[in-house]
A and B are shown apart, each in its own frame.
Chain A
Amino acid sequence: MDPFILSRIQFAANISFHILFPTITIALGWVLLYFKLRYRRSSDEGWMKAYHFWVKIFALSFAFGVVSGVTMSFQFGTNWPGYMQTVGNIAGPLLAYEILTAFFLEAAFLGIMLFGFRRVSNRVHTLATLLVAFGTTVSAFWIIVLNSWMQTPDGFEMRGGKAFATDWAAIIFNPSMPYRLVHMLLASGLTVSFLISGLSALRWLLGDRSDAMGKALRTGVYLAAVLIPVQIAAGVQHGLNTLAYQPQKIAAIEANWQTRSHVPLLLFALPDEARHENRVEVAVPDGASLVLRHSAAGAVPGLDQFAGNHPPVLPLFFAFRIMAGTGMLMLLVGWTAAWMLWRRGTLTRPLALVLVPMAASGWVATLAGWYTAEIGRQPWLVSGVLKAADALGPVPAGAVATSLAAYLIVYAVLLLAYTGVILRLAVRAAREGDRQPEPGVENQPLGQPVRGSG
């Protein structure tokens, strides 16, 4: 295989593995702060037990996020040196601000948040939790700014083949940034709310009726029920923004080969890129025109406008539908569970059995969404500025293939271990109550009961 494809697969593998964990930590940080604040107001130990259960998953996810993120910043240099050499003047400051304003903040206060409960006052511990949650969100802000700038670049000029910043406000608040940021933060909220609901439902299935489990379950389910309609609305707005700035991406998502009016909304199809047509179509008449142009007669851009300059149709078509389909499933399950908890105050067995696998729904939707966004940017690395193929470095295919194989093996093993440990934490909490021995003292009993120090 050629180094270009291998390097792309490697970067995709790195970034796919990485995004799984920030998607959890960004919103879980705020949920932990919520648990902490509820505890401070009510002195109800259930909230603190919920906090201590979920802070372990936060710690593990955070460690994964950090180590997998380091890999990516090195990949820019090892595999894609043309990227920084062309747009380094813009990407550089954005990445530097992420490190300076977010990474150190979250890393320094993470220690206090995780292990400082008895060493600092309750107030300082709450502040540390707040700063970690804030840090993860600031980090998301800067990286979304950079990604959005690569999608819809603005505020720069090209001189001698290099991008130079002319307007930092336009760079930061580039056209797709606000939409992408909101969409991603909501995605993180949904990932976490379904993860909390799913693991709590697992504990419920194992007979756990503890107060801490119930508090977490209700938090997860109600949060999911509130966020999912907001996310669907935000997603539609993000799509309309993409239509305005990256119409070729929308044309590929819709597998619409010709620019025309009365474009149907394809529920399913088999796009055939060689023949420029779809082989099977299950469609809602005029649907795409109605959604994108708010009129059946509205013209929707087709792939014919972008010959040789549009992303591959098949992966985009399916990635988008997996994301949107998962979103619909989240709506159905989230609202059903919320209604059930609200009216009957408890889960039912079938509902719990659905909620458990839905714990992974956020990951599925987030990955599918990012594939839609990033494959949809191809063949460009920075839209209209730099093609991915032109940023490739000189490393031979054999070396890339070796490193790729090593990464894939490590990622597969770690993902299995991560899932196993999280399930184990839930099963143990269900069987033994929220009193697991703590890190480093696994074989010793917990010294004192879980209680805050004022």
Chain B
Amino acid sequence: MSFDPAIILPLIFAGLMGLSILAYVILDGFDLGVGILFAAADDTERDIMVAAIGPFWDANETWLVLASGLLLVAFPAAHGIVLPALYIPVTVMLISLILRGVAFDFRAKVGLPVKPRWNFAFCLGSITASLAQGYMLGVYALGLDQSAAGILFGLLVGLCLTASYAAIGAAWIIYKTGGALQRKAVLLMRRALVFTALGMVAIALAAPLASPRIFARWFALPEMILLTLLPLVTAALFAALWAVLARLPAANDRYSALPFMLMAGIFTLGFAGLAYAFYPYVVPERLTIFAAASAPESLGIILVGVIVVLPAIIGYSIFAYRVFGGKAHDLRYD
């Protein structure tokens, strides 16, 4: 085991970046999912749904800033290759996130006649942001392949991620609400799960076929034996989730947090499979994390900040979630 900072530091930062992306897709995933589910909700339900994510969405989106920030500061060479290649979807995502974020605030401050417009913008922004993120993930996984096959694969991942966000958004609503809305969220989550599962299977089949590198990575002995656990555990989680949903809503609101936790587990495993397919590349087939990393001195300076500040961030984030724990009520400033 070597302790060369030029090896250790890029590894640490790749890990941190992975964790930030995972935190983002789980946390802002449920915000975006709630936005997507706006399409299937009436006005009263929408107000409660927004109240369920209102105090959190801003901090949740910050994980995207951290993830892209870590790519920017720790792997500037990769940042300069990945982002220009994904120029259009990045632009779509950014404009969608702008729409989503401001619509959130506007819908509560405008008069009733124009509120539906901002509801629409909120829903549309959430959907296009999710599609764009999934598309980028797909194209990136294939090594920034922008051929017709790459674009199709990107769209497939885009749809799958949108369904996953809708599912985790529904899980959050199950956790944060009760009554008719909770029952509706259970139904919506089951529908979204079907698409999520189909999408994940399609990706797991298409990725190794489309990319010989991923094929070699996934189907190499002896790692393959351990790796087989990944889809097996994921399938088990899906089955458990399906069983739980069949029993919800339960008396005394038991198990209402379970769908969210299981869904977060599915996200984590899916993400782990993809991350394993990439390592040690930060730009697939072109640039390893070691070649793309900033100078060790600069990474060291950042790491000091991360070690000191990250525990505090996690601490006060948990505090904020606890303050707004329990079922969602009307959001009010006073």
Contacts and interface: CB of A to CB of B under 8 A. Distances in A.
Interface of A: 48, 52, 55-56, 59-60, 62-64, 66-71, 73-74, 76-79, 81-82, 84-85, 88-93, 95-97, 99-101, 103-105, 107-112, 114-120, 162, 164-165, 168, 393-395, 399, 402-403, 406-407, 410, 414, 417-418, 421, 424-425, 438-444, 446-447, 450
Nearest to A81: B80
A76 B105 contact: no
A81 B55 contact: no
A66 B81 contact: no
A76 B79 contact: yes
Q: Is the interface of B mostly helix, strand, loop or mixed?
A: helix
A314 to B, nearest CB: 31
Contacts of B81: 81
A89 B108 contact: no
B333 to A, nearest CB: 6
A451 to B, nearest CB: 8
Contact of B87 (A71, A117, A164, A399): A399
Contacts of A407: 91, 95
B201 interface: no
Interface of B: 47-48, 50-51, 54-56, 58-59, 61-62, 64-66, 68-74, 76-77, 79-84, 86-88, 90-91, 94-95, 97-102, 104-106, 108-112, 115, 294-295, 297-298, 301-302, 305-306, 309-310, 313, 316-317, 319-320, 323-324, 330-334
Contact of A115 (B88, B110, B305, B332): B332
A115 B80 contact: no
Contacts of B331: 115, 438-441
Contacts of B68: 70, 73-74, 77
B40 to A, nearest CB: 18
A173 to B, nearest CB: 16
A90 B87 CA distance: 25
A268 to B, nearest CB: 39
Contact of A77 (B48, B72, B297): B72
A439 B313 contact: no
Given A93-B302, A116-B324, A399-B88, A66 B61 contact: yes
B106 to A, nearest CB: 6
A424 B111 contact: yes
A78 B297 contact: no
B110 A421 contact: yes
B80 to A, nearest CB: 3
A418 B87 CA distance: 28
Contact of B76 (A92, A108, A111, A120): A92
A104 B61 CA distance: 10
Contact of B334 (A74, A111, A438): A438
A11 to B, nearest CB: 13
5 contacts: A84-B72, A88-B73, A92-B76, A439-B50, A440-B108
B95 A410 contact: yes
Contacts of A114: 55, 333
Contact of A55 (B90, B94, B111, B333): B333
Given A88-B73, A442-B108, A115 B54 contact: yes
A102 B48 CA distance: 30
Q: What are the 5 A-B residue pairs with the smallest beta carbon separation, nearest first?
A: A81-B80, A439-B108, A92-B73, A111-B55, A77-B83
Given A111-B55, A165-B297, A77 B106 contact: no
A107 B333 contact: no
B74 to A, nearest CB: 7
Give the residue among B73, B115, B330 with the most A Cβ atoms within 10 A: B73
Nearest to A407: B95
B87 A119 contact: no
Contacts of B330: 438, 440-441, 444, 447
Contacts of A447: 330, 332
Given A84-B72, A92-B76, A441-B47, A111 B59 contact: yes
